[in-house]
Amino acid sequence: MAPDTVSLRYFLVLAQELNFTRAAARIGIAQPALSARMRRLEAELGTSLLVRNTRSVVLTTAGAALAESAPPALAALGPHTSSPERELPMPSDQLATKFLSVDTTALCDADKATRVLDSAIRARSATTRICGPAYTVRCRDDFFAVLRAIESAAPGDVIVVDGGSKEIALAGELFARGALARNLGGIIIDAGYRDITYVRSCELPIYSRFITPMAGSTAALGDLRIPIICGGVPIAPGDLILADDEGIIVLDPTRAEALLDSAAAIKEAEATVIARLNAGSHLSDGLNVAEHTEALRDGKPSSLEFLT
């Protein structure tokens, strides 16, 4: 699959700078947005392009080859040049602020095609709210890949593990403490979690399908930052993970801001209906029940809507 032009431009700036901070400043975007874009690019190409160190970036063999083979016009991208056609996700901290005023139910109402993880994957921790980019992991009966992910993920990243829905623990107290120390955004495992006595009071949001005392092995590398299936839905590296007491959803980060705004409008409309109900009105005073009923009887297209 050929990378899109915008992602390739960003990659080439990063290949020139070999530093996320400088590259993001040149392009004119937030560093987390650039990091998320690069992870999606790697997922699209099915290969690792970069080795991320604390202060620098090293190109892999595939990354160096991509930089060398880029079209001349893109390779000549100069300093302080950004693409006018770019469509960037809002930085995660701003999205998190918007998420505070809504919930996953409103987001699902805003887009009925929203990816929702299987409800069997439940919160195990005291904190349930998650808002951050997915750092994906795939492993089976072996948790070494989860450890590798925790040690390499960026602050705010959410570790999302495709563990094959098996009843074997792929993380526990030590991994939760390690993720807290690195300021990660949460851990979601489609398999088991253990050390629940600690996890129940943990400030890090932790979700799992099972609770089990039996842990897996540490003999396989597993796969990091690749497209996975978790909770029955596809998740790519950099997808936005949102969770609360209702469940876990996945959004395309480029659409997240618009959906959060739509969800806020829905919550505002719901608040108006609640105020009317508290004042003694009925549901039909806040919803187009009569009109919707008549339209459906006549076979006409219609939708249930709030009355303004």
Closest Cα partner for 18 from 62, 56, 51?
56
* Rounded Cα distance, 194 and 174, in Å: 10
* Rounded Cα distance, 148 and 84, in Å: 37
* Tokens at 57, concatenated: 């970036």
pLDDT-based confidence at residue 38 (cuts at 50, 70, 90): confident
pLDDT-based confidence at residue 234 (cuts at 50, 70, 90): very high
- For the chain, what are the domain ranges? 5-75, 92-256, 261-297
The model's pTM is 0.71
CATH architecture of 92-256: 3-Layer(bba) Sandwich (3.50)
Tens-digit pLDDT profile for residues 269-287:
999 999 999 999 999 999 9
Choice among 28-32, 70-74, 132-136, 223-227 with the minimum mean pLDDT: 70-74
Tens-digit pLDDT profile for residues 145-172:
999 999 999 888 999 999 999 999 999 9
Alpha-carbon dihedral angle through residues 187, 188, 191, 195, given to the nearest 10 degrees? 40
Mean pLDDT of 55-67: 83
* Tokens at 204, concatenated: 């890090």
pLDDT at 36: 75
**What percentage of residues in the chain have a pLDDT greater than 90?**
64
pLDDT-based confidence at residue 84 (cuts at 50, 70, 90): very low
Q: Tell whether the model's pLDDT for residue 15 goes beyond 70.
A: yes
Whether 111 contacts 134, CB under 8 Å: no
Partners of residue 116 on adjacent β-strands? 249
pLDDT at 115: 97
**Residue 141 φ/ψ region, left for φ over 0, alpha for ψ in the -120 to 50 degree band, beta for the rest:** left
Domain 5-75, classified CATH 1.10.10.10, yes or no: yes
User: Taking the mean position of all CA atoms in its chain, how far away is CA 307?
Assistant: 33
* Rounded Cα distance, 39 and 56, in Å: 16
